[in-house]
A = this chain, B = another copy of it.
Amino acid sequence: MDRKNFLETLKKKILLLDGGYGSEFIKRGYSNIPAELLNIMHPEVVYQLHNEYIEAGADIILTNTFSANRKKLKELKLEDDFLRINSKAVEIAKNAAKDKVLVFGDISSLGEFPKPLGTLEMKDTIEEFYQQAKILYNAGVDGFIVETISDIKELKAAIWGIRKVSSELPLIAHMTFEKNGSSITGTSVEIFANVVNDLDIDVIGINCTLGPDELIDVFQKLSFSTNKPLSVEPNAGKPIYDGKTIEYRMTPEVFGMYVEDYVELGANIIGGCCGTTPLHIKVIKNMIKNRKTKKIYKDIPIMYSSRTILKKYHPFTVIGEKINPAGNNSFQKEIEEFNFEEIIKRANSQKSAGADALDLNIGIEKILNTEHIKHIILELDKYSSLPLSLDIQNVDFLETALIEYPGRPIINSARLTKKDLDKKLEFIKKYGGLLIILAMGKDIPESAEERFQLIQTKWKELEKLGFSKKQFIVDPLVLSVAANYNPNITLDTIKLLSSHNFNTIIGLSNLSFGLPNRSQINAAFLSRAIYNGLNSAIMNPEDSLLMNILKGNQLLDGNLVIENKIENRDKL
């Protein structure tokens, strides 16, 4: 079943996943043997459990390969059996499935996070997932599921590794969250959705950690954060440790009581994780057999994120401009020497001053290499927390940053030349992100009308390619008034763009380059630009005049918003 058919099926019916494997093998007496080794040591045990899940009603069974990645097998000194364990797992599942149910290759954590939370390089992380996925694919799985992931970068690596093997099979992407809606690495379920919404997967979901009673709140947050099909696999309640083993004691009947809630929140795929049994699956089957999926389109605001911070782009995004060593020789020198203290200092001071995101504009790209970029992203992930705007010219450097960046970045920027735009579009399709497009091709159009028409024409092409306006921010371009530039060109372009629902951004400080009283000029211009519809600016958040005038504008518009809402209500 290809992706398109799979997604069509999901529109019509709720698919049933299977339940626990590891916990079930232990109950069945195989606590002393790694679950994955059963594939080659006791294939009949695995087959039997698959069969029971199929008989309970599962539409999709997962291969017994949850911990069968090369990294984990190596720790068990089983790396030599890597190929056999995985390909055998698929064989067993397919034998049980008999082409009546789907077999999805099960992939989970490598047991070690990518940097900076762990020691793995992203390149190696992707490679590990790629190697396992390739075996599963060659053995004939119908799709993939990545589940029980705690680190957003590991999830991205798994998706990229799997998609390197095949872009034609369905892919379900799960993370696991605590009761508060946050993973143990600090990424919230909303950030997970924000990141994964951009990526090339088919179903987004959560599993493990919590029983259906506690997981429902997390699932609700997820449901409100995505328009992708949803999947969920709760555990059979809280894990209870009796001194020897961990047990899950929620009965199938109690478990079943929550199924309706998940369906109401739009679940497209439901199964069970740790502690769930064929009986649990059977109960779910009974609950969903007459249910259609409930599809609600959610108007999700434009957001961007770091590992731990999610920000709405509207009404206004302040992007701090100060991680920019232009004209500062010692700052440049430090960066060249892999000393990123000043970067971290500026990141944190801009955050304190009220920045929503940080523009990373290192310049001096000619004297740096991809290692510099990688380390800067890692350091910022570790010692700072705001989302980044990746203001990087060199495409290799930008790709490095996109691979290392944990959240959903702003990408700054693409010109409307075929070469530059095509590359950046490829990047946002593969890596995600909110792309800034400049209202210029090789040259900058003189007038506002020309800049707008350039964008409008290009947008029609992008729309045909399936892109959404929400994926882009348009920079109408601000030049220095000291160089005789008429700032009304930018202001008029903003007005045209915003009246056509384009998101807009400016590099504010360019305006006053070379002038005295820059802060005052910038503040006045910012105010006018916001009045014309501007939604974001790369600016100095430590300039209190700017921040005050911004706040005033927001308060002023906030009042308008409230009023409009009241008016709309009256009309209903």
State the A residues within 8 Å of B (CB).
481, 484, 486-488, 491, 515, 517, 519-525, 527-528, 530-531, 545, 548-549, 551-553, 555-556, 559-560, 563, 566
Contact = CB atoms under 8 A, between A and B. Distances in A.
A334 B220 CA distance: 64
Interface of A is mostly: helix
Contacts of A545: 545, 548-549, 552
Given A545-B549, A549-B549, A559 B520 contact: no
A519 B563 contact: no
B556 A525 contact: yes
Nearest to A486: B563
A471 to B, nearest CB: 30
A549 B551 CA distance: 13
Contacts of A520: 548-549, 551-552, 555
B524 A556 contact: yes
Nearest to A512: B555
A560 B524 CA distance: 13
Contacts of A525: 552, 556
B517 A481 contact: no
A518 to B, nearest CB: 9
Contact of A521 (B484, B487, B556): B556
Nearest to A487: B556
Number of copies of this protein chain within its complex: 2
Contact of A528 (B487, B521, B522, B531): B531
B487 A555 contact: no
Given A484-B563, A531-B528, A563-B484, A519 B556 contact: no
A523 B520 CA distance: 12
Nearest to A516: B555
Contact of A552 (B488, B519, B553, B563): B519
A530 B484 CA distance: 21
30 contacts: A481-B556, A486-B560, A487-B559, A487-B560, A488-B560, A517-B552, A519-B548, A520-B548, A520-B549, A520-B552, A520-B555, A521-B556, A522-B552, A523-B527, A523-B549, A524-B527, A524-B530, A524-B549, A524-B552, A524-B553, A525-B552, A525-B556, A527-B528, A527-B549, A527-B553, A528-B528, A545-B545, A545-B548, A545-B549, A545-B552
Contacts of A531: 491, 527-528, 531
A248 to B, nearest CB: 52
Given A523-B549, A528-B527, A555 B517 contact: yes
Contacts of A560: 486-488
Contacts of A517: 551-552, 555
- Scoring A519, A521, A560, A566 by chain B CB atoms within 10 A of each residue's CB, the highest score goes to A521
List the 8 closest A-B pairs by CB distance, nearest first: A524-B552, A527-B527, A520-B552, A524-B553, A528-B531, A481-B559, A520-B551, A523-B552
A524 B548 CA distance: 9
A559 B484 CA distance: 8
Task: Count chain B CB atoms within 10 A of each CB in A515, A545, A549, A566 and give the residue with the most.
Answer: A549
Given A481-B559, A560-B486, A563-B484, A548 B528 contact: no
A486 B481 CA distance: 33
Given A521-B555, A527-B549, A545-B549, 17 more contacts: A484-B563, A487-B560, A491-B531, A515-B555, A517-B552, A520-B548, A520-B555, A521-B552, A521-B556, A523-B549, A524-B549, A524-B556, A525-B552, A525-B556, A527-B527, A545-B545, A545-B548
A534 to B, nearest CB: 12
A548 to B, nearest CB: 5
A557 to B, nearest CB: 8
Contacts of A556: 481, 487, 521, 524-525, 528
Contacts of A519: 548, 552
Contacts of A548: 519-520, 523, 545
A336 to B, nearest CB: 37
Nearest to A484: B563
Nearest to A531: B528
Contacts of A488: 560
A126 to B, nearest CB: 47
B486 A555 contact: no
Contacts of A559: 481, 487
A552 B525 CA distance: 8
